[in-house]
Structure 1
């Protein structure tokens, strides 16, 4: 579980650095999608530690990030 979080975090850091350097925010929905995946994995880790409150918060944030990501994909496909 920890390795997955580290790999996803490295992807997010690399993608966000690339977005900032190039100032082309076309890949922002992918960044949100991977951030949502990080929060979901973090929530599952909280569930394994038997912390229900942390799990619920992470899952809510994860669902919000997935929703924003889907909206971004739809907005990019319409334009």
Structure 2
């Protein structure tokens, strides 16, 4: 899980840098990756027996997935 979390964090960082440099905002893809990152963070919190952190991360990740899918379908 730690490796997946690091890979997703690097993708988010790279995509953020790309958006800042080129001013070409690809928000739905960014939200999708951040949602996956939050889901993995929630699973790590579940493994540590932190139910509150797990629930918060899962709710945020579901919201991000919904927003990203809505953005992809609107364009």
TM-score interval, normalised by the smaller of the two chains: over 0.9
- What is the root-mean-square deviation in Å for CA atoms of aligned residues? 0.7
Q: Which has the larger radius of gyration?
A: 1
Does the alignment pair 1:4 with 2:4?
yes
- Normalising by structure 1, we get a TM-score of 0.91
User: Which contiguous aligned blocks of 4+ residues in structure 1 show a shift greater than 6 angstroms?
Assistant: none
Specify every segment of 5 or more residues in structure 1 that has no aligned partner in the other structure, as ranges. Answer: none
CA shift, 1:28, in A, is: 1.4
Q: Secondary structure at the match of 2:49?
A: coil
Structure 2: unaligned runs, 5 residues or longer? none
Count of residues in Structure 1 that have an aligned counterpart in Structure 2 = 75
- Structure 1 residue 38, shift from structure 2 partner: 0.4
Aligned to 1:19: 19
- What is the distance in 2 between the residues matched to 1:51 and 1:15? 30
User: What SS class does the counterpart of residue 5 from structure 1 fall into?
Assistant: helix
Deviations 1:35-79 (A, max 9, x none): 000000000001011111110000000001001101110121xxx
